[in-house]
Amino acid sequence: MQALRNIGIIGRITMLEGARKQVFHVLLMVAVVMIFGATVLAHFDNKVQAKMLADLSLASMFFVSAAIAITITVTGLPGEMEQKTVYPVLAKAVSRGQFVLGKFAGAMGTVAIGMAVMAIAFVFVEWWFLAGHIDFAVLYVVPFLFLETAILAAISLTLSTVCSWPLAWFLSVVICLLGNVKFQLYTSLMSKHPSAFNKVTINGLYHLLPSLESFNFKDALVHHLTVPNLYLWQTALYGLCYTAAMLTLASISFSRREL
């Protein structure tokens, strides 16, 4: 119970600090503007307008949430060490693993606030622009966007324990991009590099990279296509396991780091 209390306290402080940061306000404002701006691009019949609005809004929601998560997590631990605020916290019977989990929980709390604001903006724009029509089915994808963002946050947090925050930020963005084109990249590389050594290397990288494209079923929901429940459960389980694995690595790495 004390461990959970420690994680909760650190998480709450981190969340409040993240919500007060100017970069959070700027990114959130950009997302809201993009959601409202999506109405400018939709000048077709109501069904097409609804699909375009939902597609553009969900894309904006993911990219801005990912930017918030990466920015907060890559600067969290290095910032605490640079300002030397981590030392009195760790001196109060708080383990390094609890500190890492608290920083992650706080970052995701900030992301949750941002996603809630963006979801409300989307619902309002859809209600206003489409004369009272609200497609709540599209909002089912939001928890999966949150889980996808959690994977990126866990990766960013892990990277921040082994390298400088600018490098961690750059690598996190690269991993985000590669994770969203993972299968296409794998197919292309396997066809161009058929040697046994290259195949082993490519397969290793393929399994290490997060399968972010597995979460890209928002198009199916936008177009009212059925997504099998088994696929949703498998995707959620994969996201939770990958996040847990990254947080374990982050805790181990931070525990071995000299402060």
Answer for the pair 183, 203: CB distance below 8 angstroms, yes or no: no
pTM summary value: 0.89
Report CA 143 to chain centroid distance, whole Å: 11
In the block, residue with structure tokens 């701006």: 37
Question: How many domains does the structure of the chain reveal?
Answer: 1
Note down the domain range covering 247: 2-256
pLDDT digit string (tens) for the chain, length 259 residues: 778 888 888 889 889 988 888 888 899 898 888 888 777 665 555 666 777 777 888 888 899 999 999 999 998 888 777 777 777 777 777 788 888 999 999 999 999 999 999 989 888 887 877 666 677 777 788 899 999 999 999 999 999 999 888 999 999 999 999 888 887 877 777 777 777 777 788 788 888 889 888 887 766 766 667 778 898 899 999 999 999 999 999 999 988 877 6
Q: DSSP H helical segments within the chain, as ranges?
A: 2-20, 22-41, 46-82, 86-90, 96-129, 142-160, 165-179, 182-192, 196-208, 218-222, 229-256
